[in-house]
Amino acid sequence: MDKVSFTQMKDGTAEDYAFLTEHETEYTRGTADRLLQAMVSLDESLSGYQVTRLGHSLQSATRAERDGADIDWIVSALLHDIGDIYAPYNHDEYAATILRPFVREQCTWVVEKHGDFQMVYYGHHVGADPQKRDRYKGHAYFDDCAAFCERWDQASFDPDYETLPLAHFAPMVRAVFDRTPYDPDVIRAGAREPLVAG
């Protein structure tokens, strides 16, 4: 079989769907490599900063690694702005959706909310609410998101910072996206891991 027999999903057979499942499973094995290629595209996205968006992402992940963060934090820091290419108005939600099946809930929540938390640094300059993060006060991951933004996100626009290359992080990205999606032992709802070792 090269293609399914149906033109409407409701007409598909068990054989059609077995065929598609096999192809989709094979396709998902390439997710990490497609994400790494998308990261390269960040070099061609939004300009005006002293570093490219790829440079910012690599710097964020480098800072996370140097802080002794675990692999979930490092990969989340690397991919936190990947949505800038395709979803500039909700880039944080876009990135979180990509990460959600493969990293701890804590990291997904932080990536999803980091755009609101970043407003504290510049909202007053652009007519936005600099205290937008306050709506999440009391949330279990509030302090984690504040620390993520302070240590790794807002600080990572320095062209003189010694940043590790994408190739350094590629094995980590592949390891994370090789996990079983939505594995409860990975998602660990409610669990918190420190951003900084020690």
User: How confident is the model at residue 24, as a pLDDT?
Assistant: 87
Mean pLDDT in each 10-residue stretch from start to end of the chain (198 residues)? 92 90 87 92 80 96 98 98 90 97 98 97 94 97 98 97 98 97 97 91
User: How confident is the model at residue 42, as a pLDDT?
Assistant: 86
What six digits make up the tokens of 35? Answer: 């994400």
User: How confident is the model at residue 46, as a pLDDT?
Assistant: 66
User: How confident is the model at residue 45, as a pLDDT?
Assistant: 66
User: How confident is the model at residue 66, as a pLDDT?
Assistant: 98
Distance of alpha carbon 39 from alpha carbon 169, whole angstroms = 11
CA-wise closest residue to 129 among 137, 138, 117: 117
Which residues lie closer than 8 Å to 163 by C-beta, 6 or more apart?
55, 58, 59, 62
Tell me the CA distances in angstroms from 169 to 20, 33, 58, 90, 112, one per residue in order. 31, 12, 8, 25, 21
CA-wise closest residue to 111 among 148, 143, 136: 148
For 5, phi then psi, to 5°, come to -85, -15
Specify whether the backbone of 175 is left (phi greater than 0), alpha (psi in -120 to 50) or beta.
alpha
CB 92 within 8 A of CB 111: yes
CB 79 within 8 A of CB 64: no
Domains and CATH numbers, the chain: 13-187 (1.10.3210.10)
Distance of alpha carbon 77 from alpha carbon 31, whole angstroms = 17
